[in-house]
Structure 1
């Protein structure tokens, strides 16, 4: 048992950091929900995505702690990060839409219920933003149709948030 004492202590520390990170992220996401008009389902989706990312990081750290050859772990990790990096920001990939969902959630000034006018390929489309999912935003247009736009495409397009008149 003695030779594994350091690995056990390091694993406990890694687990503690994982739990603290998870609770901290949950707090900040709940705070973001309170300060915006996002729905509870969006909060749960974002939390699932962030938890998945934390679990992947935790597994990599545990593998390193338990003496898998560091050269092998570094090669695999750097290769995966490169592939994910390209996939996260490649045009119209699934992962780029998920990344765009996170950006829309945390950093963008639009929220569910806003009336927006999106300009894409020279055409302006106006409507109410009704939902933001992992892959698409849904806009109820003036003619009562629903337009779906991939999240990554919305981030690349220019749009205007139309202020509602004060009552």
Structure 2
């Protein structure tokens, strides 16, 4: 038997929700500020920084929804059933399109590990189709390359992590020397 919820309980839940919203906005603001500061210190492109900010927004929204459901006392069994059904459908869709998930994951790995940067000349060691080109842009799903002949190539991020890659320089005077 469930007890009736009083106005006081609604007030507490409403106040808790307002506090949770404020905390999530403040937390999101500081996380994005920290991400932008890190990207600036690491000399990362604005595009890559915006991409990570979008991922942070998605994560924070999902986290807020979980907290919101907890505050309002949603039945855990029903919530688990909804989430498991939703994740099963998403899982089947991603399994059918595994390359999309693979490229997104690779884009995140490239953002944080940055083995090469925009402007670098790279050589992709592929026995069937070797490529030597300059990195024009690194996006969530693919990297845009420009060959010496001016040809634009869209290369999947997952293949960049699977293939052996060398960073090459075009001119000897572009090399950096360290003491």
Question: TM tier, shorter chain?
Answer: 0.7 to 0.9
TM-score (norm 1): 0.80
Distance 1:6 1:29 in 2: 34
Structure 1 residues 149, 18: closer, same or farther in 2, change over 3 A? Answer: same
Structure 1 residues 102, 84: closer, same or farther in 2, change over 3 A? Answer: farther
The runs of at least 4 consecutive aligned structure 1 residues that moved more than 4 Å come to 78-92
Match among 37, 41, 48 for residue 31 of structure 1: 37
Structure 1 residues 75, 51: closer, same or farther in 2, change over 3 A? Answer: same
Distance 2:120 2:91 in 1: 31
Larger radius of gyration: 2
Gaps of 5+ in 1: none
Superposed, which structure 2 residues align to 1:89-108 within 5 Å?
A: 92-108=98-114
Structure 1 residues 84, 96: closer, same or farther in 2, change over 3 A? Answer: farther
Distance 1:77 1:43 in 2: 30
Gaps of 5+ in 2: 1-6
**Matched residues, number:** 167
TM-score (norm 2): 0.75
Match among 107, 111, 123 for residue 117 of structure 1: 123
Answer with 80-89 or 2-11: which moved more. 80-89
Two-structure CA RMSD over aligned residues (Å) = 2.8
- 1:58 lines up with 2:64 in the alignment: yes
Is the 2:47–2:139 Cα contact (8 Å) retained in structure 1?
A: no
Structure 1 residues 54, 145: closer, same or farther in 2, change over 3 A? Answer: same
Match among 154, 161, 164 for residue 167 of structure 2: 161
Residue 49 of structure 1 corresponds to which residue in structure 2? Answer: 55
